[in-house]
Amino acid sequence: MITGMTGFGSAQFNVGKLKGLIEVKSVNHRYLDIAFYLPNGFGVVENKVRDMLAKTLTRGRVTVSIRITDKPDQEVSFNEDMIKEYLAHAKSIEKKYKLVNNLTLADLIRMPGVVDVKEVFVEAADMWPSIEKGMIVSLKSLKAMRQREGKSLAADINDKLKKMSARLRGIEKRSKDILKAKQKAVKPEEFASFQKSIDVNEEIARFDHYIEEMTNLLKLEVPVGKKLDFIAQEMQRETNTLGSKLQDDLVSNSVIALKSKIEKIREQGNNIE
């Protein structure tokens, strides 16, 4: 089944106490166009993400957003060896000078070297395994949404193709009726020339072939959007020829209806991968 180009997927990731969110969105576009919104210093993962997308998608404007949602700004640790040393010195002084030891935890924390505070720096390269897993989950959701859209688009286009086929059958019948009426009204040699001028069998046969081709394309699981657009252009050519050969009000109405459906199919084709 064909695939659409509108989709969304997201996933959370975490490395230690650091947490982040990945969001991948896609809309229709003639080619694969990727935009990134990444935290500072995350440029190292851009090419890796781009490669993942290129292996999964062929068309669409894709936006990838990676955000850090929760990060400890600092890491605090206590130097227990230093604490033991301070306590040992305090105990020695207390005993030597017969002082009362009223050393508190607050006093210890204020002493140099007891508390060690480090800034937390995020290395994007170290986070890649977690980001990669999040991208896999996000792309799976995005593809599922694009597949659901493709199913809906295929149903709509198939409905239009059936109605177009019915219009062609109506044009065929009207062509025969016009010939019968003309045959009764003119001489044989004039009728032969008229019959040749309004012969639309080739146009209808080609149009039927295009309908069959498009119906088969809609069943495929490969990108077909550009092929559908090409076939729709050929359908438009045949419709113009039908309208120029058969100058008749009923045929004109059918031609207008065919053109309308072809244009709608081309619009839908813009949403198909």
pLDDT interval class at 114 (50, 70, 90): confident
pLDDT interval class at 242 (50, 70, 90): very high
User: Looking at 94-108, 124-138, 191-205, which range is the least confident one?
Assistant: 94-108
The confidence score (pLDDT) of residue 120 equals: 56
Give DSSP secondary structure letters for 118-159.
Answer: EE----HHHHHHHHHHHHHHHHHHHHHHHHHHHHHHHHHHHH
pLDDT higher than threshold 80 for residue 47: yes
Question: pLDDT for 171-212, tens place per residue?
Answer: 999 999 888 887 788 888 788 888 888 889 999 999 999 999
Domains and CATH numbers, the chain: 7-71+125-143 (3.30.230.40), 74-119 (no CATH), 146-269 (1.20.140)
At 119, list the tokens.
């800034």
User: Looking at 105-114, 129-138, 255-264, which range is the least confident one?
Assistant: 105-114
What is the average per-residue pLDDT within 90-107?
A: 76
φ, ψ of residue 46 in degrees (nearest 5): -60, -50
Cα distances (Å, whole numbers) of residue 61 to 24, 29, 132, 192, 243:
11, 5, 20, 56, 38
Say how far apart CA 78 and CA 113 lie, in whole Å. Answer: 8
Half-sphere exposure of residue 103: CA atoms within 13 angstroms, side-chain side: 17
Half-sphere exposure of residue 81: CA atoms within 13 angstroms, side-chain side: 1
Name the average pLDDT for the chain: 89
What is the average per-residue pLDDT within 231-258?
A: 93
- Report yes or no on whether pTM surpasses 0.85: no
Largest CA distance in the chain: 141
